[in-house]
Amino acid sequence: MAERVGAGYNNLVTRYYYYYVFPKLIPAFALYAFYLLLNLYVIPVLILKRRFFILAVITGIFIWLALLGIYAVSYYSINIYTLLQNSGIPLRRISLQYSFSITGMIVICYGIYAYVRELMIRSVSADNGNRPFRVMLINNITATAFAYIAILFLLFNFGSLRNDGVAIFYVFVLLPAIVICFINVYRIFPYRQKNAIPFRRIIPQLLIAPTICSLLGWLLFSLGRNELTPGFLFFLFAILLFIVTPISWLLYVLHKERLSEMLNLQKDFGKTTADLQFLRSQINPHFLFNALNTIYGTALQESADRTAEGVQKLGDMMRFMLEENQQDKIPLGKELTYLTNYIELQKLRTQISPDIDISFTSKTEQCHHEIAPMLLIPFVENAFKHGISLQEKSWIRINISCDTEHLYFDVYNSVHPRKETDPEKNRSGIGLENVKQRLSLLYPHQHELQIRSTATEYFIHLTIKP
C-alpha cells in the first residue's frame, strides 16, 4: 500500500513539473534566447544589408511563428494539467488563440523597442561627444528595461504579483533601485573620478535620486491604498540610500575599467580632433621650407642681412614643425627655442618703433620637463596680434620659469582695438578655445589657466604639471 502511495505521489510530482512548471518556464527561456539572438547576431548582421527592412520583416515572421508554436504547446499542456480537457472546452483552439494574441503583442513590443533603440543610437552617433560611452549606456538601459518587463510578465504569468510583498518589492523598490544604480554608475561616480572630487562633495548628489524616487514611490503607494503611510516613505528611503547606493558603488568598481575605456576612446577622439584643427590652422610647412631656402640665398646675394636673418629663423621654425610637431611630447628646451625664434622674428618687424617694448625672460635652470609641442606659442601669437601697434605705445612681457614639478608661463601685453578696415579684425587663428581644449585633453587636472583682460591690457598665467 505504501509503495502505491509513493508511486502515485511521484507520478503527481512528475506531472506537475512536465505539464505545469516546464510549460511555464520554457516560453520565458525561449523569449530570452530569441532576444539574445536578435540583439547579438541577427540585427547587427541585417543592419548591414541593403534590404534591411524586408529581411527584418521576414525574420520577425519566422520568430513569431516559432514563439507561437512554443506558447501554444505550453498553454495547452498547462490546461491539460488543470484537467480542463474534461470540461468540453476546445483547448487546441483556445491555446492557439491565446498564443496568437500574446506572441503578437511580444513581437510588436519588441519591434517598437528595437526601432526606438536604433533611433537613439543613431542620434547619439550623429553627435561625436562621448559617443562610445553614450552608445554603451543606451544599450544597457534598453537591455535592462527589456529584462525588467520580461520578468514582470513572467511573475504575472505565475501569479506571483498577487502577493503584496512581491508586487511592492518589484514595483516600488526594484525599479527605483535600477534608476539610482544607472545614475550613480554612469553619471555621479564617473564625474567624481574624472574631476578628482573628494567623496564628501558628491554626498548631496547621492541624496537627490533616493529622495525623489522615495517621494514618488510613497505617493503612488499611498494612492493605491487610499491612505498616507509615512513609515513606507522612510523605509523606502533607507533602502535606496543605505543599501542600493553602496551596491551601485560596487557595480561601478566592477565596471570602472570598461567605463574608463569608453571615456578614453572619447578622449583620444577629442585629442585627434584638436590636433587636426591645430594642424589645419597652420600653412603647409613643406612648401614653405623649400621656398625659404631660395629666398634666404637671394637675400644673402643682395646683402639683405635682416631679411636673411628673418628667413633663417623662419626656416628653423618650419624645421621644428616638420620634425618635432609630430611627437606627443618634446623637451621643454626645444619649445623655448621655437618661442625664441618667433619672438626674434617679430622683433625684426617692430624694432623700427621706439615705443614698442618686448621682453622675454626665462629661468630654465630646473626646466627639465617635457611638454606637448606648440602648446605655448598660441598665447604669444595672440599677444603679438592684439598687443602691437606701430602707431601707439605697446608692450609684451613674456616670462617662463620652472620648479621640479611645475612649469609657469606668463604673457602680459597691451591691447589695441583693430580698425573696421583691418583684414585681420575678424580672424581668430587657432584661437584660445582650441588651446583650452588641448590643455584639458593633454593635462586633465594638471594645469591651471588664468586669463584677465581689460580694454587696454591682457594677461594670462598658465601653470602645468608635466
Q: Are residues 116 and 164 located together in one domain of the fold?
A: no
| The domain boundary residue, chosen from 212, 241, 272 | 272
0.85 exceeded by pTM = no
Q: Are residues 88 and 166 located together in one domain of the fold?
A: no
Q: State pLDDT tens for residues 415-424.
A: 887 665 554 4
At 242 the pLDDT is: 92
Cα 450 from Cα 41, distance rounded (Å): 52
Q: State pLDDT tens for residues 341-392.
A: 888 878 877 777 788 888 999 887 778 888 888 888 889 888 888 888 878 8
Beta-carbon contacts of residue 68 (< 8 Å; ≥ 6 apart): 96, 99, 100, 103
Asked whether residue 374 is domain-assigned, the answer is: yes
Q: Give the SS3 label for residue 456.
A: coil
Beta-carbon contacts of residue 466 (< 8 Å; ≥ 6 apart): 329, 332, 369, 370, 371, 407, 443, 446
Q: Are residues 183 and 103 located together in one domain of the fold?
A: no
Q: Are residues 105 and 192 located together in one domain of the fold?
A: no
Highest mean pLDDT among 214-228, 399-413, 437-451: 399-413
For 349, the grid coordinates are: 618687424
Asked whether residue 58 is domain-assigned, the answer is: yes
CATH number for the domain that contains residue 388: 3.30.565.10
Q: Give the SS3 label for residue 427.
A: coil
- Count the domains in the chain: 3
Q: Are residues 95 and 201 located together in one domain of the fold?
A: no
Amino acid at 435: V
At 421 the pLDDT is: 53
Measured CA angle at 305 (ends 302, 310), to 5 deg? 115
Asked whether residue 286 is domain-assigned, the answer is: no
Q: Provide φ and ψ at 413, rounded to 5°.
A: -145, 160
- φ/ψ region of 445 (left if φ > 0, alpha if ψ in -120 to 50, else beta) reads left
Burial per residue of 396-427, b for 16 or more beta-carbon CB atoms within 10 angstroms, e otherwise: bbbebbbeeebbebbbbbbbeeeeeeeeeeee
Asked whether residue 291 is domain-assigned, the answer is: no
Highest mean pLDDT among 148-152, 299-303, 449-453: 449-453
Q: State pLDDT tens for residues 176-221.
A: 999 899 998 888 888 887 777 888 888 888 999 899 988 888 887 8
Asked whether residue 72 is domain-assigned, the answer is: yes
Q: Are residues 197 and 100 located together in one domain of the fold?
A: no
Higher pLDDT, 408 or 42: 408
Higher pLDDT, 377 or 327: 377
Asked whether residue 104 is domain-assigned, the answer is: yes
Asked whether residue 317 is domain-assigned, the answer is: no
| The domain boundary residue, chosen from 272, 304, 326 | 272
At 281 the pLDDT is: 47
Q: State pLDDT tens for residues 61-113.
A: 888 888 888 888 888 887 776 654 455 666 777 778 778 877 877 777 777 77
| The domain boundary residue, chosen from 272, 288, 320 | 272
Q: Provide φ and ψ at 407, rounded to 5°.
A: -115, 130
Asked whether residue 147 is domain-assigned, the answer is: no
Closest residue by Cα to residue 102 from 83, 78, 86: 78
The answer, yes or no, to whether residue 336 has pLDDT greater than 90, is: no
At 409 the pLDDT is: 93
Count the Cβ atoms, other than its own, within 10 Å of residue 56.
19
Amino acid at 37: L
The answer, yes or no, to whether residue 282 has pLDDT greater than 50, is: no
Concatenating the DSSP letter of every residue in 301-329 gives HTT-HHHHHHHHHHHHHHHHHHHTTTSS-
Q: Are residues 118 and 189 located together in one domain of the fold?
A: no
For 100, the grid coordinates are: 496568437
At 287 the pLDDT is: 45
Q: Are residues 122 and 226 located together in one domain of the fold?
A: no
Q: Are residues 164 and 115 located together in one domain of the fold?
A: no
Q: How confident is the model at residue 286 (pLDDT cuts 50, 70, 90)?
A: very low
Could you list the residue range(s) of the whole structural domain that residue 389 is in? Answer: 352-464
